[in-house]
Amino acid sequence: MTGSANRPVRIAGAGPAGLAAAIVLARAGRAVEVLERRSRCGARFSGDLQGLENWSGGGDALAEFRALGITTDFHAAPCRHGVQTDGVRDDAFAFDTPAFYIVKRGDVPGSLDRALAAQALALGVDIRFDTPCPEGTADIEATGPRGRAPFAIDTGIVFETDAPDTAIALLNDDAAPGGYAYLLVTGGYGCCCTMLFDDFPSIHRRFALARELLVERRGIAVRNPRAVGGLGHVRARGSWWSGVSRCVGEAAGLQDFLWGFGIRLAVRSGALAAESVLTGADYAAAAEAAFSPRLRIGVANRWLWEHARAGRYALVRGALHAAGPMRLLGWMHREHWWHRLVAPLGARGLRTRYPVVFDPSAAMRAASAAAPDTSAA
Ligand SMILES: Cc1cc2nc3c(=O)[nH]c(=O)nc-3n(C[C@H](O)[C@H](O)[C@H](O)COP(=O)(O)OP(=O)(O)OC[C@H]3O[C@@H](n4cnc5c(N)ncnc54)[C@H](O)[C@@H]3O)c2cc1C
């Protein structure tokens, strides 16, 4: 058990990873304090719609959260129909069980962030806003990416609309080379974004095309658009510990390197670190067993995606038709021998391409390049 049961467990960061850890600890009767450097929860996002995926293993994401003791009272719209498009041809798919849940991020009504913070507060967790915590000093470090060189940039808009609920993924080398663009609509609220893993300065042009293909050409009404977006970061994880802190979520480098998904890994790792605080179990060993395969899979998938440039879209379309999206995604996220073979190459490539040093100027340049122009909206 960490420290004395009399002193509060200290968590740095009130994102999904930190709040999940706080909830698990507080439910087990421990006193918990969460130090958050910003003035509110979810401040990294501002009403963006994100996907809580169900394809990477572990069953249904909401069921997994509930099994961890997390109440799923946030807006989570199950996606049972989806479209994959190259901008010209649409392929529609139906899913027996939700492919993912559309959730809201940021300090907005119904968001994941607000719901987790409310649960933590109701359990007596002391969340201190505007309180940065020095690296490596908390029991659990859930501080997110910490300004390493950007790995991915996402930019777009959220808006009100009378369009029906929808989920469309656009794979197209003009709109998002090596990345993807998407349109999500749930309950009269929409989000259209482009996610790039390369060529960051072109993001405005790419997003304009994605918006044309996903929104305008489909006659989707857009009211009161607001710019959203952000940066994904890559972090070289030498250890699951930093100083005396168990690292969780993106602070531990936990992210799917193929598409950037990280919410489930954040919550799962937060809960695992909390368990290790409660039981004294070896966190590094547990985290290594739980997450290393996922990291290898993501790194290998991205390497393959980037090196299969010529035929990748035809390959995806063929596989989608042959297997269906959920079987394809499930297969891609299960570890195969070729993941293990390719992962070291992928890791070397990532290290070369995204220098893992603290480079605030690069992050700021990328962030300002990513600020979308909503004037034409
Ligand atoms: C644009 C974008 C779109 C994304 N879309 C998806 C998606 O569709 N699906 C998905 O699963 N994932 C998605 N992700 C990834 C997902 O958002 C993250 O993986 C997830 O939020 C990580 O949670 P976390 O708790 O580890 O970190 P964060 O959410 O970054 O939270 C960390 C918190 O720590 C605070 N903090 C930082 N430093 C300190 C400090 N020194 N002291 C105290 N507090 C500190 C921060 O202010 C922040 O509140 C997306 C990411 C981006 C950028």
Domains and CATH numbers, the chain: 9-77+105-147+234-291 (3.50.50.60), 294-356 (no CATH)
N-term to C-term CA, the chain: 54
Contact 188, 162 (CB under 8 A): yes
The pairing of strands 9-12 and 140-141 is parallel
- Cβ–ligand 1 distance for 275 under 6 Å, the answer no
Calculate how far, in angstroms, residue 307's C-alpha sits from the geometric centre of ligand 1. 28
| Mean pLDDT score, 16-34 | 98
Mean pLDDT, the chain, rounded, equals: 89
Residue whose CA is closest, atom 30 of ligand 1? Answer: 144
Report which secondary-structure segment, H or E, holds 272: helix 263-279
User: What percent of the chain is modeled with pLDDT above 90?
Assistant: 67
Cβ of residue 229 lying under 6 Å from some atom of ligand 1: yes
Q: What is the pLDDT of residue 235?
A: 64
Confidence of residue 148 (pLDDT cuts 50, 70, 90): low
- 145 C-alpha to ligand 1 centroid (Å): 7
Crossing angle of helices 263-279 and 283-307, rounded to 10°: 160
Separation of CA 146 and ligand 1 centre (Å): 10
CA distance 107 to 105: 7
Q: Position 298: which residue type? A: G
Q: Is 190 in the pocket of ligand 1 (CB under 6 A)?
A: no
What is the Cα–Cα distance from 69 to 375, expressed in whole angstroms?
Answer: 44
161 lines ligand 1 (CB under 6 A): no
Q: Cβ(47) to ligand 1 under 6 A?
A: no
Query: Is 14 a pocket residue for ligand 1 (Cβ < 6 Å)?
Result: yes
Q: Say which residues have a Cβ less than 8 Å from residue 165's Cβ, sequence separation at least 6.
A: 77, 185, 186, 187
Report the nearest atom of ligand 1 relative to the CA of 105.
17
pLDDT score recorded for residue 239? 75
Q: Which atom of ligand 1 is nearest to the CA of 153?
A: 1
238 vs 11: which has the higher pLDDT: 11
Q: Which band of pLDDT confidence, cut at 50, 70 and 90, is reported for residue 312?
A: confident
How far away, in angstroms, is 233 Cα from ligand 1 center? Answer: 10
Among 231, 250, 255, the mutation site with the greatest number of ligand 1 atoms within 8 A of its Cβ is 250
Indicate if ligand 1 lies below 6 Å from the C-beta of 50.
yes
d(CA 257, CA 298): 5
Q: What is the mean pLDDT of residues 150-175?
A: 93
- 14: CA distance to ligand 1 center in Å? 9
List, in sequence order, every beta strand (DSSP E) within the chain.
9-12, 32-35, 46-53, 76-79, 81-85, 90-94, 100-106, 126-128, 140-141, 150-160, 166-170, 180-186, 189-196, 223-233, 241-242, 245-247
Q: Whose CA is nearest to atom 5 of ligand 1?
A: 50
Q: Is 12 in the pocket of ligand 1 (CB under 6 A)?
A: yes
Residues 35/133, Cβ–Cβ less than 8 Å: yes
Q: What residues does 102 pair with on adjacent strands?
A: 51, 77
> Span 15-21, mean pLDDT?
98
Distance (Å, whole) CA 107 – CA 367: 20
Nearest protein Cα to ligand 1, atom 1: 230
Residue 247 Cα, ligand 1 centroid: separation in angstroms? 13
Is 18's C-beta closer than 6 angstroms to any atom of ligand 1?
yes
pTM tops 0.75, yes or no: yes
High-pLDDT (> 70) share of the chain, %: 90
Indicate the range of 213-217, 234-238, 269-273, 293-297 predicted with least confidence: 234-238
Alpha carbon nearest to ligand 1 atom 13, residue: 261
Ligand 1 center from residue 139 Cα (angstroms): 19
pLDDT digits 0-9 by tens, 119-132: 999 999 999 999 99
Q: How far is the CA of 166 from the CAs of 83, 84, 321, in angstroms?
A: 8, 11, 20
pLDDT of 330 > 50? The answer is: yes
pLDDT above 90 for 356: no
Identify the pLDDT of residue 193: 97
* Residue among 183, 51, 39 at smallest CA distance from 104: 51
